[in-house]
């Protein structure tokens, strides 16, 4: 019996910690609504970059986190005090562990509430 040799990408999440916040109807971050994730940086590939440019979207960062299928594009991502908008969410099932890839566009600085540390 021949089994296909599947290549499984093993991921690391050692680039840092990000926070994903819920937002209200005006797009403002709801303080205290965050979840923390370890993330890994990914390269913005040529195909992804030019696809985004064709749709007038400027991508600043692409990261992967442990898979979370409940994320929405209206959530906000904060990395080291910088706020990002989620432009695209992709779920990968052929990696170890399963991951979610977030394509991000920078929105500005987020200082956070007094009790939140970065």
Low-confidence ranges of the chain (pLDDT < 70): 1-6, 45, 48-57, 113-118
The secondary structure of residue 75, as a DSSP letter, is S
Number of domains in the chain: 1
The whole-number pLDDT of residue 118 equals 46
**Would residue 57 count as lying in a domain?**
yes
**Would residue 64 count as lying in a domain?**
yes
| Torsion over CA: 64, 25, 105, 49 (sign) | positive
The whole-number pLDDT of residue 76 equals 95
- Residue 75 contacts by C-beta under 8 Å, 6 or more apart in sequence? 20, 21, 22, 23, 86
User: The pTM is what?
Assistant: 0.81
- pLDDT tens digit sequence for 43-69: 876 776 666 666 666 788 999 999 999
**Would residue 82 count as lying in a domain?**
yes
**Would residue 60 count as lying in a domain?**
yes
Q: Cα dist. 14→64, 66, 113 in Å?
A: 10, 12, 25
Q: What is the CATH number of the domain that holds 89?
A: 2.40.10
**Would residue 37 count as lying in a domain?**
yes
**Would residue 56 count as lying in a domain?**
yes
Enclosing domain of residue 96 = 11-109
**Would residue 117 count as lying in a domain?**
no
**Would residue 50 count as lying in a domain?**
yes
């Amino acid at each position: 019996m021949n089994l296909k040799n599947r290549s499984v990408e093993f991921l690391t999440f050692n680039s840092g910690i990000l926070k994903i916040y819920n937002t209200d109807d005006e797009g403002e971050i709801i303080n205290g609504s965050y979840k923390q994730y370890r993330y890994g940086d990914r390269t913005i590939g040529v195909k992804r970059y030019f696809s985004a440019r064709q749709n007038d979207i400027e991508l600043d960062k692409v990261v992967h986190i442990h898979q979370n299928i409940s994320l929405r594009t209206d959530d906000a991502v904060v990395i080291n005090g910088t706020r990002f908008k989620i432009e695209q969410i992709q779920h990968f099932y052929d990696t170890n562990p399963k991951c979610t890839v977030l394509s991000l566009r920078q929105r500005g600085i987020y200082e956070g509430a007094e009790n939140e540390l970065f």
